[in-house]
Amino acid sequence: MKKLARIPVLIATAALAPAVLLAAPEAIAADANTTAVTAPDAETKSTKQKEDDDRVEVFRILGAKDSGRGVKEAARAALDGGPEAIRQFLEKGQFTARQEDNRVRVAQIIHTGGPGVREAGRKALNGTAQDIQEFLDKGQHEARITDNRVRVGQIMSTGGPHVREAGKKALLGTPQDVEKFLATGQYEARKLDEATKDDSKDQTTGGNGSTGGRDSEKPQPKPDPAKDKETAANANGGSTTGAKPNTTGDAGSRAAGSTGEGSRPGGKDTASTQVTAAEGDLATTGTSPAIPWAIGGTVVALAAGAGLLLAARRRSAQN
């Protein structure tokens, strides 16, 4: 009985199997068609994402601190040119522009650098792009350290004690110590040297322009009464010599009163001698108050001599 019950089930299964097998390919084809439709959409989305990433990279290069003028100009041109221009800039253009910027940068460093920096920069420009990059990354700094040390030595050779001490201390320190000395330390040390020099000068001069009080310590000469009296007499117009012209005048008066001498031929010579003596006294005494008296006596003597001479000639004529 059980075997007879299974027969209808087997017959039904055999009848349904062909229908199931015929329907399966259609379902598989439908699934395949659905996958084929969605694949192009996924590929298109990946391309757009890549273009967006390229633009982001160009903006990053454009804002980088180490990007020169040439790189920035090329980056802006690529952004304006579209995806293809952006891709070309990222693959090649940025490197070409960077090399040009590096050469310009080396030239600027040479212009402001010391002897060692200039020599290393010229050598890099005559080399490859790698030589230039190495100079910018490392070579310029090493050459600058050497130039700074040479400069410190030059400053020490012409500086004062404080400058030399500060320079020596910097040379024994780090490159940063050398740069600090060149930037500020040398000027601070120079001020100290100038202050010390001024203090020494004040001590030498006594602080008031004198020679330390040495002149005040020298013994003063003792007063000379005779010299002081002579100086006072000269200041009073030569009053000490005023008696000489009076003496001359008296001599002239005596000569005028004497009639015996007037008859002699030598009377004229006597008058001349008296005039000469009066003139000599006048030249000696200068502007003495006795000068008018001397002049008066001289005139009287001349008049007397002339009168005597005329009297002598009359007597001779009468005889």
Q: State the Cα torsion 105-107-112-118 to the nearest 10°.
A: 120
DSSP one-letter code for 207: T
Taking every pair of C-alpha atoms in the chain, what is the biggest distance, in angstroms? 236
CA–CA dist 248, 278 (Å, integer): 7
> Residue 247: which H helix or E strand, with range?
helix 243-257
Query: Structure tokens of 157?
Result: 């050779």
What pLDDT is stored for residue 191 in this prediction? Answer: 95
pLDDT for position 48: 86
Which pLDDT value is given to residue 115? Answer: 95
Q: Is the pTM of this model over 0.75?
A: no
**What does the pLDDT read at residue 75?**
95
pLDDT of residue 273: 45
CB of 86 closer than 8 Å to CB of 78: yes
The full set of domain ranges for the chain reads: 240-318
Map tokens 């890099």 to a residue: 124
Query: How much is the pLDDT for 242?
Result: 42
pLDDT at 198: 80
d(CA 41, CA 263): 168
How confident is the model at residue 247, as a pLDDT? 44
Whole-number pLDDT of residue 45: 57
- What is the DSSP annotation of 14-40? HHHHHHHHHHHHHHHHHHHHHHHHHHH
**3-class secondary-structure state, position 265:** coil
pLDDT at residue 172, rounded to an integer: 96
For 145, half-sphere exposure in the C-beta direction (CA atoms, 13 angstrom radius) is: 10
pLDDT tens digit at each of 319 positions of the chain: 445 555 555 565 655 555 545 554 554 444 444 444 444 454 555 888 898 999 999 999 999 988 999 999 999 999 999 999 999 999 999 999 999 999 999 999 999 999 999 999 999 999 999 999 999 999 999 999 999 999 999 999 999 999 999 999 999 999 999 999 999 999 999 999 999 888 777 676 655 544 444 444 455 555 565 655 555 555 454 444 444 444 444 444 443 444 444 444 444 444 444 444 444 444 444 455 556 666 767 767 777 777 777 777 777 777 5
